Amino acid sequence: MIYADHAATTQLDREAFEAMLPFLLEEYGNASQPYSFSRTAKRALERAREIIAQCIGALPEEIYFTSGGTESNNWALKGSLSYEERCEIITSQIEHHSVLNVCKAAEKLRFNTRYLPVDTFGTVSAAALDKNISDKTKLVSVMMANNEVGTIEPIQELCSITHRHGVVFHTDAVQAIGHVPVDVACLNVDMLSASAHKFNGPKGIGFLYIRKGTPLRPYADGGSQEHGLRAGTENVAAIVGMAAALKKSCDTMQQRIGHLKYLEQQLLCRLREAHIDFIRNGTNQLPGNISLSFREAEGEMLLHRLDFMGICVSLGSACNSGNMQMSHVLEAMKVPKEYAIGTIRVSFGHTNTVEDADIIADAIVRILKDQ
Ligand code: PLP
């Protein structure tokens, strides 16, 4: 099997798995208990917080553990809304559904939402943000990198416009963290969402960075965990695994980026050499994230035939699988329909090889020439 869907999820790193093991077996103490048996768990939890904070240039007390990207996004958006005078969220047309569907739910509660347009490369318009932001705006939320096409957004610029208006800025960095350098101090963001399973950590764990002083309501009421903002007994093993995976991703990032860029070029060159008519979507993409739109082809047919050949890729985005309608991202980017419906996303990981890239390209060529 060739797995080339790392933007959907990644394999748990073995070292991260080994770091988790003691907390699944012997060190099962509740990190909130005061007796000495729980001390190892408590220490591991706080060490994980420090490691994660270091990886993104934050303070440990600004890292809040959550169950993943969806929860972090829900918290950042829902926790910011209030019925006081500022009651509008600005986001973009190409966000993940864990942002877009919160916005839809907010609309039902009569909050205003505005969706910033993107250009044909999927870059969010800073000019549109400047024009739309007002004294009603409570929060601006724009993703750091798009999951379908990989475009990395101009977060620093968008954040600086937002702050000029005295508004809080959140970014969904689920696809970016561990893959490209992310420093919250440089970017100046107020909140940032991340999910461990996108960087070889375990599933069902993530974090929300909340800059000190950022107003945000609690996500879950109950015990006093996570400074009383997100109650619930901590999943120490998963948190330890997440920290180990993130540290390893950051420590090896430059090598991984070089390797992934090489694989991308290999795949694209082979498709071009075979005179295949396609568009690569996006610009300034995440390393290894390749959204390909083939003219007059069907993405679903391609996905299933590749699956039959033992190759896992995604149909535009994993969350949209099975849905042959043009994705909201490609629609916002105005990708011509004759290309858009023939879109697949190949997302390489550091364990993929040049041979994998060749096999995938050759398989695509064979399928398209056969149809
Ligand atoms: N945001 C983006 C950009 C994503 O790609 C995903 C997952 O695909 C999520 C949020 C949701 O993350 P999780 O799977 O941890 O809930």
Query: Rounded to 5, what percent of the chain is helix, strand, coil?
Result: 45, 15, 40
Give the pLDDT confidence score for residue 110 in this predicted structure.
87
Averaged pLDDT, 219-230: 95
Q: Which amino acid is at 283?
A: T
Coil/strand/helix, residue 220: strand
Q: Residues near 128 by Cβ (< 8 Å), separated by ≥ 6?
A: 116, 117
Q: How many CB atoms lie within 10 A of CB 273?
A: 10
For 204, the token pair is: 């069902």
Residue 8 contacts residue 195 (beta carbons within 8 Å): no
Look at residue 290 in the predicted model and tell me its pLDDT.
Answer: 98
Degrees, nearest 5: CA angle 240-242-247: 100
Domain range 14-251, its CATH number among 3.40.640.10, 2.60.120.620, 3.40.50.2000, 3.40.80.10: 3.40.640.10
pLDDT digit string (tens) for 32-75? 999 999 999 999 999 999 999 999 999 999 999 999 999 999 99
Q: 34 C-alpha to center of ligand 1: Å?
A: 35
State residue 320's pLDDT score. 46
* Residue whose CB lies within 8 A of the most ligand 1 atoms, among 5, 149, 198, for a mutation test: 198
Say what the pLDDT of residue 37 is.
97
In 3D space, the residue among 110, 315, 78 whose CA is nearest the CA of residue 218 turns out to be 78
Determine the Cα–Cα distance for residues 236 and 46; give it in Å rounded to an integer.
10
- Closest residue (by CA) to atom 10 of ligand 1? 69
Given this chain, do its domains 2-8+253-370 and 14-251 carry the same CATH topology? no
- Centroid of chain to Cα 91: 15
Q: Contact 19/244 with Cβ under 8 angstroms?
A: yes
Residue 172 CA to ligand 1 centre (angstroms): 8
Per residue in 189-207, pLDDT (tens digit) is 999 999 999 999 999 999 9
Which ligand 1 atom sits closest to the C-alpha of 68? 15
CA angle 130, 131, 136 (to 5 degrees): 90
Q: What is the pLDDT of residues 267-324, one digit of tens each?
A: 999 999 999 999 999 999 999 999 999 999 999 999 999 999 999 999 974 434 455 5
How do the domains of the chain map onto residue ranges?
Answer: 2-8+253-370, 14-251
Give 19-40 as a DSSP string.
HHHHHHTT----TT--SGGGHH
Rounded to the nearest whole angstrom, what is the distance from the C-alpha of residue 92 to the centroid of ligand 1? 16
Give residue 206 CA to ligand 1 midpoint distance, Å: 10
- The whole-number average pLDDT for the span 180-194 is 98
Q: How far apart are CA 366 and CA 4, in angstroms?
A: 18
Cβ atoms of 191 and 219 closer than 8 Å: no
Which ligand 1 atom lies nearest to the CA of residue 319?
A: 8
pLDDT band at 85 (very low <50, low <70, confident <90, very high): low
| Dihedral sign, Cα of residue 185, residue 90, residue 195, residue 150 | negative
Residue 259: enclosing H or E segment and its boundaries? helix 253-273
Distances (CA, A) of 285 to 98, 149, 150: 21, 7, 5
- Name every protein residue with a CB atom under 6 angstroms from any ligand 1 atom: 68-70, 73, 96, 98, 143, 147, 172, 174-175, 195, 206, 319
Q: Report the chain's mean pLDDT, rounded to a whole number.
A: 95
Give the mutation target among 77, 93, 98, 124 for probing the ligand 1 site: most ligand atoms within 8 A of CB.
98
The pLDDT tens digits for 130-179 are: 999 999 999 999 999 999 999 999 999 999 999 999 999 999 999 999 99
234-258 residue pLDDT tens: 999 999 999 999 999 999 999 999 9
What is the model's pLDDT at position 317? 43
272 CA distance to ligand 1 middle (Å): 31
Q: What residues are annotated to the active site?
A: 319
CATH dotted code for 2-8+253-370: 3.90.1150.10
Å from CA of 35 to ligand 1 middle: 37
Amino acid identity for residue 362 in this structure: D
Q: Which atom of ligand 1 is nearest to the CA of 203?
A: 15
Q: Residue 322: what pLDDT?
A: 52
Looking at ligand 1, which residue's alpha carbon is closest to its atom 5?
A: 147
Taking CA atoms only, the protein residue closest to ligand 1 atom 9 is: 69
Q: If you write DSSP's letter for every residue of 339-365 in order, what string do you get?
A: HHTTEEEEE--TT--HHHHHHHHHHHH
β 191-195/206-210 pair status: antiparallel
CA distance 99 to 95: 6
